[in-house]
C-alpha cells in the first residue's frame, strides 16, 4: 500500500443483476418480501416493479473494496451508506456500476468513497468504507 494516496481510484466493477440473482438472495437471506420477487406484488403497493434488496446492493458494492483488499474483510473498520434510490430489476435484468476512490487517509485508516449507479441513477449516497492500512 505504499502507493496509497488521496484520489487513488480502485478498480471499478460492473455487476449484472437478474431476477434469478434476487430469488437466490431472497432464499439465502430469508427476506422473501414479494416486492423483490413479483412485479404484481411490487406494483400493488405503488412501486414500478421488482426491486433489489437494499442489503444486496450494499453488499455487492463493497465487493470492490474487498477485492482491493485481496479478500481480507477483517481490514474493513466501518461501512456506511444512505439508500438514495431503489434498484428496479426488469425481467431482462440490469447492471450496477461501482466506482471507488480513496477520499481520506491517515496513518492507520483509508476512507474509500463509493459511487454506485444504475445508468444515471445513484443508488447509494454517502457510501464510505473505512479500512485499516
> Are the CB atoms for 100 and 89 separated by under 8 Å?
no
> Are the CB atoms for 7 and 101 separated by under 8 Å?
yes
Comparing CA positions, the residue from 68, 14, 22, 13 lying closest to residue 41 is: 22
Confidence of residue 2 (pLDDT cuts 50, 70, 90): low
Quick count: other Cβ atoms within 10 Å of Cβ 17?
A: 21
Confidence of residue 3 (pLDDT cuts 50, 70, 90): confident
Crossing angle for the helix pair 19-29 and 54-68, nearest 10 degrees? 90
Q: What is the pLDDT of residues 30-62, one digit of tens each?
A: 999 999 999 999 999 999 999 999 999 999 999
* pLDDT tops 90 at residue 15: yes
Q: What is the pLDDT of residues 58-98, one digit of tens each?
A: 999 999 999 999 999 999 999 999 999 999 999 999 999 99
Q: What is the fold of 9-132? A: Thiol Ester Dehydrase; Chain A (3.10.129)
* pLDDT tops 80 at residue 1: no
Across the range 110-118, mean pLDDT stands at: 98
Across the range 104-129, mean pLDDT stands at: 98
Residues in contact with 129: Cβ distance below 8 Å, sequence separation at least 6, in sequence order: 62, 65, 76, 78, 79, 100, 111, 112, 114
Tell me the whole-structure pTM to 2 decimals: 0.94
Q: CA-CA distances (angstroms) from residue 91 to 15, 19, 37, 43?
A: 16, 7, 10, 14
Confidence of residue 110 (pLDDT cuts 50, 70, 90): very high
Q: If phi over 0 gives left and psi between -120 and 50 gives alpha, with beta otherwise, what is residue 71?
A: left
Across the range 18-32, mean pLDDT stands at: 97
Amino acid at each position: 500500500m505504499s502507493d496509497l494516496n488521496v484520489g487513488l481510484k480502485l478498480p471499478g466493477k460492473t455487476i449484472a443483476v437478474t431476477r434469478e440473482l434476487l430469488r437466490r438472495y431472497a432464499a439465502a437471506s430469508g427476506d422473501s418480501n414479494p416486492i423483490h420477487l413479483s412485479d404484481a406484488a411490487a406494483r400493488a403497493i405503488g412501486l414500478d416493479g421488482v426491486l433489489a434488496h437494499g442489503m444486496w446492493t450494499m453488499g455487492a458494492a463493497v465487493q470492490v473494496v474487498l477485492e482491493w483488499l485481496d479478500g481480507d474483510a477483517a481490514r474493513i473498520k466501518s461501512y456506511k451508506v444512505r439508500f438514495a434510490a431503489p434498484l428496479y430489476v426488469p425481467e431482462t435484468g440490469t447492471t450496477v456500476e461501482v466506482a471507488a476512490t480513496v477520499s481520506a487517509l491517515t496513518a492507520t485508516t483509508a476512507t474509500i468513497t463509493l459511487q454506485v449507479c444504475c445508468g444515471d441513477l445513484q443508488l447509494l449516497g454517502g457510501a464510505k468504507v473505512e479500512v485499516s492500512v
